[in-house]
A = this chain, B = another copy of it.
């Protein structure tokens, strides 16, 4: 059985890395923690929604028609098929929940595509 997951402890394990890391699973979904800073890439996931929960910092999810700003304790579900580009001006800690096979860069691919580690 998986054990208790303390989010702050998991982010501390990541140190200064901007590497997404799987901390657990729920059915065919993965629970991913990631520290982020700067702008990611525009992309979409045609096959799935994607949940963002901000734990620390401040995340701007840019859409083509607006920005959504998330502070700690706030979450947002990006609907499938909708282009988005996350951006953080300060180092921001995010919990992502999405199907296990979801690529971080969705349909965009490119050199920001990385497989999550497990911690």
CB within 8 Å of B: which residues of A?
1-8, 24-27, 29, 31, 48-51, 55, 68-71, 73-77, 79-80, 82, 97, 99
Contact = CB atoms under 8 A, between A and B. Distances in A.
A7 B73 contact: yes
A91 B69 CA distance: 29
A71 B5 CA distance: 10
A75 B7 contact: yes
A2 B74 CA distance: 13
A25 B77 CA distance: 7
Given A1-B79, A77-B2, A26 B97 contact: yes
B73 A8 contact: yes
27 contacts: A1-B79, A1-B82, A2-B79, A3-B68, A3-B76, A4-B70, A4-B76, A5-B74, A5-B76, A5-B77, A6-B71, A6-B74, A7-B73, A7-B74, A8-B73, A24-B77, A25-B49, A26-B49, A26-B50, A26-B97, A27-B49, A27-B80, A29-B29, A31-B51, A31-B75, A55-B73, A97-B97
Contacts of A71: 6
